[in-house]
Structure 1
Amino acid sequence: MVTLWGRRAGTVGLSGFLFPLLFLGMAESQLVMSVGPSLVRATLGSDVLLPCNFTIGEPISLAKFYLAWAQEGTKVAVYQSKGLDYQREVQVFPQELSRGNCSLLLRSVSVGDGGKYTSTIIYTPNKEEKQLELQVTAVPTISIPRKSAVMDTASSFSCHRRPVSD
């Protein structure tokens, strides 16, 4: 019987089988993205963070990275190797992208900011999209005119809701 490195010809040791698998797993990076929670609530006029993170399985190269945030199909922020492009009062943190944080900050939200948001990441050649929903709530404001009430007498007070401005 012929032996190779102390083994019989035709047999492969466990290490001879596992090392190629290890390198195959490293050859292609896998983009994994997460957002959460899927429903984010914000009060009218407040700032709100739409959380989004990703991992790639290798050190992040922003030259291979593209990020787009869209609200109901309309892009509100885009980051690519040449920089950041904003469509309105939003903020992405470029210094955080290399750490896997691609969250979107909305400043002073209005009722029109509510709806579905989609975060799209392309890390060449991988692409991933996640959605979440922003619900904007307004605290009702009521005004009651100053009026005197007399004890043991029926009194009525009318109150009016002020319209919410967008």
Structure 2
Amino acid sequence: MATIGQIVFCSMIILIVIFGTAIILLLALALSGQLSEVMSNNMAPTANLGNDELLSCYLNAQTQPARVTEVSVTWQRTGLTGPVYRYQNGAPSLGDQDPQFKGRTQLFPGDLVAGNASLLLRSVGRSDGGEYTCTISSSGGGGKVKIHLKTAAFSAPTFKFTSSALTAEAPRWFPKPNVTWSDFDGNVLNGSTSFAENSVGIFRVVSSLQPVNISETYSCRTENDLVTAVSKATVTDPVTENTYFTFSAASSLMTSTHLSITTSVLCIYYLT
């Protein structure tokens, strides 16, 4: 049976953790721009190498007029002296643009009047990863938001069924992934996976599962620290398949909430 002192002690610890979580959340929101007039709908995007990527940046519609004028936009990346992109006085201003981004970036002038300053970055390479800052100044207000762009290579596998084996082949993955097979009920199965790395460090992934049963559905999970591809394949002729991707994004709120829950559980254990 817990004493009054133990109850008071644990109550104080829980209150401290709750207040700490609230403070961390407020700081995270402030640093990310969520308390600013400038926002982004994805502050930690993962771009597929070689593809185009849209970096989101816009004025908060709840605090801005329907139409803004005198819009100036600057996109910068930490570590570079020149801007990634600059728009001012009604036109692009790219005289001092960093050479890495020449001919590869654009805004959408027709959307600027609505406060949308999102940046299209073409043909993303590994060196494009990093922290970007979008700064907007306009008649309706302004501010800045930071976006951390991560780069990876990922592709959905194609499936073949031959000689009682189900084989998945994905041509582009980076960083090197892990592959896990499971059956319809989620039981992990023993598959065989091989990797072939090309001259630029991109991996071709081939994984096989044997034996498999006709008409049954199997799951092939390909994942690294940035991207997870979950594929469902049903053994038919031809194989029917479906793949969806999820992307990792660190969350200080999730970490703080986990800490609060863990502390509460420990206190309950302590009291009993």
Q: TM tier, shorter chain?
A: 0.5 to 0.7
Pick from 86, 111, 118: which aligns with 2:126? 111
- The answer to whether the aligner puts 1:43 opposite 2:48 as a matched pair is yes
Q: Distance in 2 between matches of 1:85 and 1:124?
A: 19
Q: Does 1:67 align with 2:50?
A: no
Per-residue deviation at 1:73? 4.9
Identity score, percent = 31
Deviations 1:54-94 (A, max 9, x none): 1463354433x211001115311111114113432111011
Q: Deviations over 1:90-128 (max 9, x none)?
A: 110111100111100000000011111100112269541
Which amino acid is the alignment partner of residue 79 of structure 1? Y
With the length of structure 2 as denominator, give the TM-score of the two structures.
0.39
Equivalents in 2 of 1:101, 1:126: separation in Å? 13
Q: Is the 8 A contact 1:36 1:132 kept in 2?
A: no
TM-score (norm: length of structure 1): 0.61
Residue in structure 2 matched with residue 77 of structure 1 by the alignment: 85
**Distance (Å, rounded) in 2 between the aligned partners of 1:79 and 1:159:** 44
> Larger Rg: 1 or 2?
1
Higher RCO, 1 vs 2 (CA within 8 Å, ≥6 residues apart): 1
Aligned pair partner of 1:131 in 146, 167, 174: 146
Residue pair 1:62, 1:81 contacting (<8 A) in 2 also: no
Higher share in helix: 2
Conservation of the 8 A alpha-carbon contact between 1:35 and 1:53: yes
Distance in 2 (alpha carbons) for counterparts of 1:62 and 1:107:
27
In the alignment, structure 2 segments of 5+ residues that lack a partner are: 1-35, 154-171, 175-193, 202-272
1:162 to 179, 187, 198: 198
Q: Per the alignment, do residues 161 and 40 of structure 1 end up closer, same or farther by CA in structure 2, a change over 3 Å counting? A: same
Residue number in structure 2 paired with 1:14: none
CA distance in 2, matches of 1:129, 1:108: 25
> How many residues were matched structurally?
118
Q: Secondary structure at the match of 1:39?
A: coil
Query: C-alpha separation between the residues in 1 aligned to 2:140 and 2:112?
Result: 18
Structure 1 ranges of 4+ moved more than 4 A: 124-127
Identify if the C-alpha distance between structure 1 residues 94 and 73 changes in structure 2 by more than 3 Å, giving closer, same or farther: farther
Aligned to 1:52: 57
